Structure 1
Amino acid sequence: MKPYDTERTKKEEVQAMFDRIAPTYDVLNHTLSANIDRLWRRRVVRCAAAGAPRRILDLATGTGDLALALARA
């Protein structure tokens, strides 16, 4: 039994769900955290840059804000 009513697979349903919420997720995260998420992200980037790593793995990257900030740095 499928918990949804389409012909798509579970993987396709989950991907579609994330595609729908992604555009507003970051705004909601910034609002609910009073922009503290931006503060800790900058702090993580500074700490990572101090170690001069060649590679960084962002597990559970979500929308990729941290990975993108690290790549830019």
Structure 2
Amino acid sequence: MAQLTDDDEGKQVVNAEGEQIGIVESVEGGTAHVNPDPGMTDTIKSKLGWGDTDEETYPLDAENVESISDDEIRLQRL
């Protein structure tokens, strides 16, 4: 499982197909807080457990992360 750290702040979050779904605003206790891309579909939000709330950022657990590179966090296929 990937380890999310403060070094991941500002990285793009992309789905398994490489489409950007948001940017990491902060990392606290191994959980990234993601500012979602306005065009992200409700289906993806639902699969990540982000629901229909109008939060500014949403938690992203490391268990959903496939890999972390220097400039992006890629999610597992949902």
TM-score normalised by L of structure 2: 0.21
Higher helix share: 1
For the pair shown, which has the larger CA radius of gyration, 1 or 2? 1
Relative contact order, CA 8 A, sep 6+: which one is greater?
2
